[in-house]
Each structure stands twice: as C-alpha cells, then as structure tokens.
C-alpha cells in the first residue's frame, strides 16, 4: 500500500446564495468538478424563530440528470416532492435523491424549526450520473442517523452513506462505483482509510485541524488527492468533522445549466423545455 499524494489543499470560497453567505469548496479556482462530484455547498445559518415554514428554505424547483444529496449536521431538512414524498430528516441523517428524468422538490427547515428557531447546518453535494441512467425514474431515499451504518472507536465515528467499506455497505443506491462517508475524529485520534487508486477522492473539513498523509488542513479546507496510492492516514489535532467523497470517474462530457446536469447542450435545451411544460412534475407544498 502507498499513501495517496495530496494534489492540493484548497480553502473554500464564500458565495452568496439568495442572500445567505455559504462556503463552497467545489467548484473552486482549480477544479470545475472532481468527476463524478460536481459541487459541494456547506451552509450554516441561524433561524431567528417565529417564522412560517414557507418563509425559510428553498421552494419547489426541478432537477434532472444527477443526484443532489444533503447531509444534515444541525437542525433538520424537510423534503417534499412531486411524487408525494414528504419527509423530515434530522441531524446525522441524509436526504438522498436521484433526479433522473425529472422531479420537482422543495428543501426547507421544518415548520417546528422555523417556529422555534435554531441552527441549521447542511452540506449539499451533487453526484453526477452516467448518461445511460440520466433519464431513469427518480429515486428518493431519506436516511436517518440510526439507519446509516457506523464504524466507531474511541477516536472516531464514521458513517457509510454509499458504497462499501470493510464489508459494511451504505444504503444509498449509486449508478457508478463510489464510497461516501461522513464522520468525526476526536483530538489526538487517528484513522487510516484504504481507497482504490483509480477513485477520484476528496475530503472536506467542516471544522477542526488534521494531518493527512503528512499535510496539514483545517476547517473549510478541501483536500484533493492524487490517483497514485490507496491509503489515507489521518491524525487529528482538534475535534474535526469531515466528509469523504470518493468515486470512479464517469469520464463523460458534462453540460449543466442551473438545476440540470446533462451531457450535451441539446439535452439541456430539452430539460428547460420539459420543466416549463410540467414534465418534471408539479409540487404543491403542504404547510401545517
Ligand atoms: Mn434541489
């Protein structure tokens, strides 16, 4: 086994999302994507309370051609969609969706969180889909913390959301081989990961301070690994929360526009037209 080299440690950029400043580790000035991962947004905000749910979060919008995935770290996220799914996922859980040929969904803090106020912290990342599955029937999986397999020691707690690690399988269905994990390493803790050479691999730190294969990284950094080894050796200088996204590259042309990720400009034009014609479903949100 050989350690993966670190190509670069890249600090997140601040971006404005509808009046909220959030951290965007991907894309960044060096990488448009890390195939099959297209985008990572890390948002943490305070809800002031005494608000209606319809005043917070993101209302109905369509997607096609990829999987938008949300890891919930604090607070909750309620997903409603044009297939009738309506589920709140709390901290430690995941809202997983494969948009396939088209679905319309909303993503909001729950009515209770809007009313009571509090922190909502999430990471949303976009996983690309191989062309032959882009027009599949949409797939939705809400995943609680309890239903997410865990590897635990006194030093760390790691959850496997998709792919397989040490014989433990994550529940989410993917369309190309990948391994997606989220976890926490305590101060002075250490852990090794073994991940195939040919998987494109990144780690993003929500906070904390780590040594990774001999290189230092801190909160809001993205660590981009080379495809020249299979081992990641981590020791923590502080309590650190992280996500690890790793997968076989799809190696297809990506053409994206807003909430659609396809292969060609023609397919994007079709997506825009289909969404306008209501072919990606209609969502009438329910508010309590
Ligand atoms: Mn969305």
Per residue in 104-142, pLDDT tens? 999 999 999 999 999 999 999 999 999 999 999 999 999
- Mean pLDDT within 237-254: 98
Whole-number pLDDT of residue 18: 81
- Residue 49 pLDDT > 90, yes or no? yes
Q: Which segments of the chain does DSSP mark as H helices, in order?
A: 111-116, 265-276
The whole-angstrom separation of Cα 229 and Cα 195 is 8
- Mean pLDDT within 240-250: 98
The whole-angstrom separation of Cα 106 and Cα 86 is 10
- Does residue 219 contact residue 207 with C-beta atoms inside 8 Å? yes
- Does residue 206 contact residue 125 with C-beta atoms inside 8 Å? no
- Greatest CA separation found in the chain? 56
Residue showing tokens 């020691």: 153
**DSSP labels, 256-280:** EETTEEESSHHHHHHHHHHHHTTTT
Rounded to the nearest whole angstrom, what is the distance from the C-alpha of residue 61 to the centroid of ligand 1?
A: 6
Rounded to the nearest whole angstrom, what is the distance from the C-alpha of residue 210 to the centroid of ligand 1?
A: 31
- Residue 31 pLDDT > 90, yes or no? yes
The whole-angstrom separation of Cα 1 and Cα 272 is 47
Total Cβ atoms within 10 A of residue 61: 15
Whole-number pLDDT of residue 258: 96
Q: For all residues of the chain together, what is the average pLDDT?
A: 97
Rounded to the nearest whole angstrom, what is the distance from the C-alpha of residue 229 to the centroid of ligand 1?
A: 35
DSSP count for the chain of H helices, then E strands: 2, 26
The whole-angstrom separation of Cα 244 and Cα 200 is 11
The pLDDT confidence band at residue 175, using thresholds 50, 70 and 90, is very high
All structural domains of the chain, each given as residue ranges with its CATH number in brackets, are 6-276 (2.60.120.10)
Rounded to the nearest whole angstrom, what is the distance from the C-alpha of residue 106 to the centroid of ligand 1?
A: 7
Rounded to the nearest whole angstrom, what is the distance from the C-alpha of residue 230 to the centroid of ligand 1?
A: 33
Whole-number pLDDT of residue 239: 98
Q: What are phi and psi of 86, to 5 degrees?
A: -155, 95
Closest CA to 127 of 250, 214, 239: 250
The pLDDT confidence band at residue 19, using thresholds 50, 70 and 90, is confident
The pLDDT confidence band at residue 4, using thresholds 50, 70 and 90, is very high
Rounded to the nearest whole angstrom, what is the distance from the C-alpha of residue 249 to the centroid of ligand 1?
A: 23
- Residue 288 pLDDT > 90, yes or no? no
In tens, the pLDDT along 58-114 reads 999 999 999 999 999 999 999 999 999 999 999 999 999 999 999 999 999 999 999
Rounded to the nearest whole angstrom, what is the distance from the C-alpha of residue 137 to the centroid of ligand 1?
A: 17
- Residue 192 pLDDT > 90, yes or no? yes
Cis peptide before 64 (omega within 30 of 0): no
The pLDDT confidence band at residue 224, using thresholds 50, 70 and 90, is very high
- Residue 143 pLDDT > 90, yes or no? yes
**pLDDT exceeding 90 applies to what percent of the chain?**
98
Rounded to the nearest whole angstrom, what is the distance from the C-alpha of residue 39 to the centroid of ligand 1?
A: 12
Rounded to the nearest whole angstrom, what is the distance from the C-alpha of residue 207 to the centroid of ligand 1?
A: 25
The whole-angstrom separation of Cα 171 and Cα 161 is 6
CA distances from 35 to 38, 139, 212, 240, 249 (A): 7, 21, 22, 25, 5
CA atoms within 13 A of residue 239's CA, in its CB half-sphere: 2
Closest CA to 203 of 146, 142, 245: 245
Coil/strand/helix, residue 40:
strand
The whole-angstrom separation of Cα 266 and Cα 254 is 12
């Amino acid at each position: 086994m050989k350690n993966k080299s670190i190509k670069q440690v890249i600090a997140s950029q601040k971006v404005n999302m509808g009046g909220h400043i959030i951290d965007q580790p991907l894309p960044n000035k060096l990488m448009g994507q890390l195939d099959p991962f297209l985008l990572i947004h890390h948002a943490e905000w305070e809800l002031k309370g005494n608000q209606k749910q319809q005043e917070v979060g993101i209302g109905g919008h369509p997607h096609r051609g990829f999987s938008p995935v949300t890891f919930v770290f604090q607070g909750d996220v309620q997903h409603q969609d044009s297939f009738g799914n309506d589920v709140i996922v709390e901290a430690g859980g995941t809202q997983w969706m494969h948009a396939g040929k088209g679905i319309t969904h909303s993503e909001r803090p729950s009515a209770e969180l809007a009313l009571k106020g509090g922190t909502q912290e999430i990471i949303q990342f976009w996983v690309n889909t191989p062309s032959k599955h882009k027009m599949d029937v949409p797939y939705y999986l809400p995943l609680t913390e309890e239903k997410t397999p865990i590897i635990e020691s006194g030093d760390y707690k790691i959850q496997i959301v998709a792919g397989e690690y040490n014989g433990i399988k994550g529940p989410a269905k993917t369309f190309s081989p990948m391994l997606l994990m989220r976890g926490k390493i305590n101060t002075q803790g250490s852990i090794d990961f073994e991940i195939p050479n040919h998987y494109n691999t990144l780690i993003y730190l929500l906070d904390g301070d780590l040594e990774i294969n001999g290189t230092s990284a801190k909160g809001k950094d993205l660590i981009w690994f080379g495809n020249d080894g299979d081992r990641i050796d981590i020791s923590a200088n502080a309590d650190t929360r992280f996500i690890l996204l790793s997968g076989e590259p799809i190696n297809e042309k990506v053409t994206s526009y807003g909430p659609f990720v396809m292969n060609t400009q023609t397919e994007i034009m079709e997506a825009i037209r289909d969404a306008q014609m209501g072919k990606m479903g209609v969502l009438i949100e329910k508010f309590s």
